[in-house]
Amino acid sequence: MGVVTAIPPVEQTPIPTGAPKTGMMIEQMAMAVAKNIVNDMRNSPDRYAPELSAICIADMGRDAAFFYANPVIPPRAEVKFGRGMWAHYIKSAFEKYFMWKVKSGNIAPFFEEEGLKLFFGTKGVILCADCSGAPGSAC
């Protein structure tokens, strides 16, 4: 499937590069594609697009850094970040949770979406009113 949302470069560089992507963004893209395939099979005109928000936890040995951005592409509506041992513990817990998801085959449990809504206000995918937006826009 690959990356399904054209994300324009954030800034001009001597060597052309794309915008960085996180696993969360790619999951959102895949979920939008899956929902759109189901809608095609049901002859529904509704279309979904990824929200393109991101949560990243970078382990740095004895501590870690955390950031949340929504959307990833500026201008951002919301940014949260921090660094400390608490982020290291969250990263370790997330790794265990992720491996459980993979082993159990439950890649999109209902409580994950609800938890993201509760803690970050993010939905992952959004229903488009008009899917003819510019590359990098939500729809």
Show me where the domains of the chain are located: 23-127
Only one residue has tokens 């400390």, namely 84
Query: What Rg do the C-alpha atoms of the chain give, in angstroms?
Result: 16
Task: Tell me how far CA of residue 37 lies from CA of 31, 50, 57, 102, 128, in angstroms.
Answer: 10, 14, 31, 22, 15
**The predicted structure's pLDDT at residue 64:** 92
Handedness of CA 60, 65, 69, 73 (dihedral sign): negative
Please tell me whether the overall predicted TM-score, pTM, comes out greater than 0.75 for this model.
Answer: no
- pLDDT in single tens digits along all 139 residues of the chain: 555 566 667 777 888 776 667 778 888 888 888 999 999 999 998 888 888 888 889 888 888 999 999 888 878 889 999 999 999 999 999 999 989 988 998 877 888 888 888 988 888 888 887 665 554 455 5
What is the rounded CA–CA span in Å between residue 95 and residue 100? Answer: 9
Amino acid type, 60:
M
